[in-house]
Structure 1
């Protein structure tokens, strides 16, 4: 009996244990999306980790201000645009255009977290890679090079933003012990050099970094470091031999606007771009960083909200040209290109009749000019607060009406998602940096050739002589478009610098570069205080009293939570 009883009790216990285990599995199912090392140490696992690292280019999921598009950090801070919309919307953005950011501002943390999340994901790939089995050494080298490229990209972003930042690689385990007192340019160079020397020219997927994307990044790093001779040599090689990841030789597209149309993206001008998608079940796989940057108001128009990122009057004025079609960098802001700021949409408006560079109307939405295929921009009806944000709308980030339902559409609470990629770097950017390098360490004649290549493309396709995409053919003239080439040799470096720097302003308008260019040229304080002096009169409720402080505002404040949790990281000067 005793024996039987023991057996009986054991059987009951076994049933109870089985029932408990089943309940435990039911109540605590295996976590989805969480993998252990054994699942990742193979070709499928490591490639999935690499894809995840690429995904960090857009910033953390559902977070504005963290992406490499830098519409706030590069364009608003650089005078391309005002914050836009109205004073009370996203007030954390207001200090960017006024140079009043504090370390406690949450959007500063958003950008920092975006950079270091990307660095962390790239490091995770590099840390796992030696453990991977079933993969050739050659394939492992390609993954290593791509991961180091992504890491270098994020460190490049951090360096531009804060200058003094801690280096974190796959060997670091004690984050609290990190410091930011050592210049990280040599380490960025090392990652990019490895990628340039290792990556294949041709890659299977659009959006992958290849040998030439790494070369362009490395040459750009040289420009920031003022290593002009090294940059010149590398740019010469890139221009002669560079190809995109599909093996197509780099070239300017025939039409400037092809770089901002979803059906034309990943073209011969694309060096490296964030790949966005629409309709895959996730709104954050779309161009989430720009979800607020559409015209505001009623009627048929792209986006559901909210009127942010409005081009400045100073930017619009920059596109004025003289009788020969050349820009006027010394006098452009003395008078305004006519706007409808004082008028309702129902009131008649006579557009500006002077000479303009057509890139204005591919970059800025202004009244009476076709806004892609949405019809003519109506003016005030699409503007949230004209006194605060001015009369203009952004355009390069905006999709076409014909895209709705396929690559764009309204989602969530009414905002719009779209699959329009963001070009982190394109060939026109490379040509103009190459021109700079030639000015500093080579030939003014070659520099002039590169600048004229960019200007010739601008002159070739204007809204007045060809119908915009999906826009019915029209004979309407929206301006007196006039773009000329530099035919007289530059007299000296000073004149050449002025030409190439202003050309970058025009060509890359609203693309997140301007502020960082001004800083690397060492003229940010001069240019931004001149801008603020004039714009504070045009936008008193927006910019009155704003000042750029030399020695402080060239870099952003390091987030206060970073300073609090990492004793070795020191705050930037002035904050």
Structure 2
């Protein structure tokens, strides 16, 4: 099921040997695939822009692995307890250690993440090197803006490396890839370097862009603020969030705002909108499926035939624990005390019930975001049909009863907003928001709790909940009635203190951003990964036969992935392994 091409280089292009010829001087031939200093077209404005576009293209890690992209559905969501690995025990079982916290330095998937992100770094550095000797049509303003985009992207790739591996080598455009790369150690914290790149981008990027998907000034402000949040620099982050909320605009100049309907964020027809801060772009039917979204091709219900999307492959099913989290109380508020995993609060499901046998969906109160986030039996699955349950699950005993629903295309979009030129229609035109405005509001709420105002934090959280409560955005049946008992309200009274406020905003991030690759990293930066994830294993594991066999989160080790052994062997005596591996 998996498409994986191994690449062992961190340079932009492979150093290819020239064709040997039996004549004098053949050793002086310029190798093909190398950026030539005498190639004037490469250093023209269009040539440098081409290098920059290739840097954007690496956001989806095409050619490495679905687990390696900027989406982080494996590390961010599966390791975060929002989803199970899914499918069955044998298919793509290299992902199972992400579920059970048993990663090894020899893992090919761990190495793929390292390679994919350093490939992005390498491409950004190629742009910056080219800007040192640009052609005559490259003006000073071009150098500043293109350089700012390259440094923004480099900072993104290093941000991914930092939060995935912690101590990693920082290689910039001044390093000679032929002689210097092997000597860069991973013994210096790179957060200051990431901050510097985002700061440069903030200072030099335009407020608007002419092309969708290109980073603007406000994307840099948001990402710098996010970088501060990971270091608990809450005052600095708050100051930036204040700017974004007051003045921030999308790349096209539209004021940031929450879209009216939650589902529009994940719909290929509407996913470039006022909520987009920075997104990985995808397009279908361009002549190559490579331009569509490659990250999601495994993450559709299994064996759907013509009555469901893609037909493959049953990965990434939402967890029991996540589905239960959408339970609300009589006041339309989440069960912040954790009781959603107990007794009748647990969401009724069809685990072990054949599709031909009768089943009635849960009738209790639930947050309406549940049915845009979790595909469950008896509830309309977009415009395909009501989810039939077990018939769409490859192995319920290993994966559970649910199907992913975010980032799934509609039946009415098949072959128009999906690319049918490859092995599956799952190559869609759905973008992935690396940062969206709801994420910004909830991070801003966190910062306010730590150094600002609990009331301002409550306001930001309530903005997100108010959008979710819009009845026009509910999942409905053919007759227009809500598909379930949707009950959601805002927090109408002040938080009792910081602890209560933290609990509320952290749970809101779980609900609002579920399945979007944030959860694991949030738990780590909050310092609660071990207790939360071990409690998750204790609840989820007994429901899924062997899926969580041997699972245990070890504090002080599992917050970060191991440095790939391949990279250590490639640079003996240079790279130090992470603690516990």
User: Superposition pairs for residues 29-68 of structure 1, below 5 Å?
Assistant: 37-61=39-63, 63-68=65-70
Alpha-carbon offset, residue 62 of structure 1: 6.0
Residue 406 of structure 1: aligned partner: 416
Residue 311 of structure 2: aligned partner: 304
Q: Distance in 2 between matches of 1:433 and 1:68?
A: 19
User: Superposition pairs for residues 193-204 of structure 1, below 5 Å?
Assistant: 193-204=199-210
Among residues 157, 162, 165, which one is paired with 2:160 in the alignment? 157
Deviations 1:110-141 (A, max 9, x none): 11111100000000000110211222101110
Residue 331 of structure 2: aligned partner: 324
Alpha-carbon offset, residue 33 of structure 1: 11
Q: Distance in 1 between matches of 2:426 and 2:366?
A: 31
Alpha-carbon offset, residue 345 of structure 1: 1.0
Residue 527 of structure 1: aligned partner: 532
Contact 1:451–1:500 at 8 Å: present in 2 too? Answer: yes
Deviations 1:268-311 (A, max 9, x none): 00000111111123222211111111100143111131100000
Distance 1:46 1:409, change over 3 A: closer
Q: Which moved more, 1:496-505 or 1:282-291?
A: 282-291
User: Superposition pairs for residues 9-408 of structure 1, below 5 Å?
Assistant: 37-61=39-63, 63-133=65-135, 134-173=137-176, 174-299=180-305, 300-330=307-337, 331-335=339-343, 336-408=346-418
Alpha-carbon offset, residue 181 of structure 1: 1.1
Structure 2 gaps, min length 5: 1-20, 23-28
Alpha-carbon offset, residue 416 of structure 1: 2.5
Contact 2:292–2:419 at 8 Å: present in 1 too? Answer: no
Deviations 1:240-295 (A, max 9, x none): 00000000000000001110001101100000011111112322221111111110
Residue 251 of structure 2 aligns to a residue in which SS? coil
Deviations 1:340-374 (A, max 9, x none): 11211111111111110000101111111111110
Q: Which moved more, 1:151-160 or 1:290-299?
A: 290-299
Q: Distance in 2 between matches of 1:455 and 1:415?
A: 33
Contact 1:358–1:462 at 8 Å: present in 2 too? Answer: no
Contact 2:446–2:457 at 8 Å: present in 1 too? Answer: yes
Q: Distance in 2 between matches of 1:138 and 1:463?
A: 43
Q: Determine whether 1:494 maps to 2:502.
A: no
Q: Distance in 1 between matches of 2:300 and 2:557?
A: 32
Provide TM-score, normalisation by structure 1.
Answer: 0.92
Alpha-carbon offset, residue 463 of structure 1: 6.0
Deviations 1:369-423 (A, max 9, x none): 1111101111111100000000100011211111112111444334621111111
Q: Which has the larger radius of gyration?
A: 1
Contact 1:256–1:461 at 8 Å: present in 2 too? Answer: no
Q: Which moved more, 1:326-335 or 1:146-155?
A: 326-335
Residue 39 of structure 1 aligns to a residue in which SS? coil
Aligned residues: 544
Distance 1:457 1:288, change over 3 A: same
Q: Distance in 1 between matches of 2:397 and 2:65?
A: 28
Residue 381 of structure 2 aligns to a residue in which SS? coil
Q: Distance in 2 between matches of 1:410 and 1:91?
A: 27
Provide TM-score, normalisation by structure 2.
Answer: 0.91
Q: Distance in 1 between matches of 2:457 and 2:500?
A: 12
Q: Distance in 2 between matches of 1:117 and 1:185?
A: 19
Contact 1:536–1:545 at 8 Å: present in 2 too? Answer: no
Distance 1:196 1:34, change over 3 A: closer
Contact 1:537–1:544 at 8 Å: present in 2 too? Answer: no
**Greater fraction of residues in helix:** 1
Distance 1:380 1:411, change over 3 A: farther
